[in-house]
A and B are shown apart, each in its own frame.
Chain A
Amino acid sequence: MWLWFSKLGSPKWFYELSSKWLPWLVVFMAVAMTVGLLWALLFVPEDYQQGFTNRIFYVHVPVASISLACFPLMAGAGVITLVWKMKLADMVAKSAAPIGAWFTAVALITGAIWGQPTWGTWWVWDARLTSMLLQFFLLIGVIALRSAIESPDAAAKACALLSIVGAINVPIIKYSVEWWNTLHQPATDLTMNENGANGPEIWVPLLIMIVAVYSFFVISLILATRNEILVRERRSQWVMDIVAREKV
């Protein structure tokens, strides 16, 4: 267990393993994304209330739910950085922040585009929308904090702490629609519903899109982390070997 743990923490090991897995993951993501998008945008039946407007659901929900995974990921990596000082954990955390910020921004924007025709407004300061905006600012804060501190070690520690604090916001976002009254509707219950709503024609394409967007997130994170590894390990022999071999 501890051997596995320390092996996982080795940037070289991660770089080599991800080289092997990445092509498969990209193919998988491309297939799922194509099937999911075509299905969601062309074949999902017209909603009895919203017509075709709710097809944005198939982009908004996967992006928003995966953006919530970012802070727990960064907080987990932060704890590993602070306690075990594992280099790879901080590289992942650093790479995750901008990706999470983009996912959060896309969730906010698609939400606004969905809100305008259905609710009648782009934005309302309800608990769900406000806490999501706070997550966006917290992620921008983490990115800014990292670039504001010159020493990489000090920056890693400060960002780890801010990520742990920021993760407290995630359950607030998740349960905001249940704890308070909001304009945003509660999460759709995808387990079989006795009143006939959210049947398989609704949730199957959603599931495919969630899998596709999740793969996209993981691929982006792996690519960014690999870049970070090459930059930080540029003085180690194995990176020099790669640079020499690939003539980059």
Chain B
Amino acid sequence: MKPHRRKKLTIIAFIATGLSVAVGLSLYALSNSIDLFFTPTQVAAGEVSSGQRIRIGGMVKEGSVARSEESLHVEFIATDYNNDLLVRYDGILPDLFREGQGVVAEGMVADGVFQASRVLAKHDENYMSVEVKAAMDAAERDRADAVPAGESNGS
């Protein structure tokens, strides 16, 4: 390679590396603001002041959803499996809102309860047909019913 080309290439590599490091460090420093939501653990640790508008995210705890009979009021527990946070919401939930699935809620913490003004559903990256899911659930039930021994058929 000719010297002047090598020099140019070095300059470009230098600029690209320098910029990448600068961007990387800024993003690292800003990571709290880049996160879309706080986890129930962060809320429990007092990282958010009450009355501050934030988003929280977690899983909807199984069996925690309680709907009102005569209004759209709904309460559920968002969990990150370490801490729980009770969420209250008056409004229409997205179709994908389910127990055991992810949820992101916008609102504020008051007296340890999250009053949501908007609830979004999160879905994961695993796709499965209805049939496969049914077959897996059946297999799960069989395992649960079977004698508790190491007799897994390896399915």
Chain A positions near chain B (C-beta within 8 angstroms): 45-50, 54, 57, 79, 82-84, 117-121, 124-127, 161, 164-165, 167-168, 172, 179-183, 185-189, 193, 195-199, 201-202
Contact = CB atoms under 8 A, between A and B. Distances in A.
A74 B133 CA distance: 43
Interface residues of B, number: 43
A34 B149 CA distance: 50
Interface string B15-53: 110011001000100010011110100000000000000
Contacts of B152: none
B126 interface: yes
Interface in B114-131: 118-131
A84 to B, nearest CB: 7
A79 B9 contact: yes
Interface of B: 5, 8-9, 12, 15-16, 19-20, 23, 27, 31, 34-37, 39, 57, 93-98, 101, 104, 118-133, 135-136
Given A127-B34, A180-B35, A185 B133 contact: no
Contacts of A54: 127
A164 B13 CA distance: 10
Contacts of A180: 31, 34-36
B123 A185 contact: yes
A189 B125 contact: yes
Q: Which secondary structure dominates where chain B touches chain A?
A: mixed
A119 B128 CA distance: 18
A221 B66 CA distance: 54
Contacts of B96: 49-50, 118-120
Contact of B8 (A45, A82, A117, A201): A82
Contacts of A125: 36
Contact of B126 (A45, A179, A181, A195): A195
Nearest to B122: A183
B37 A202 contact: no
Contact of A199 (B16, B124, B128, B130): B128
A48 B130 contact: yes
B50 to A, nearest CB: 22
Contacts of A57: 127
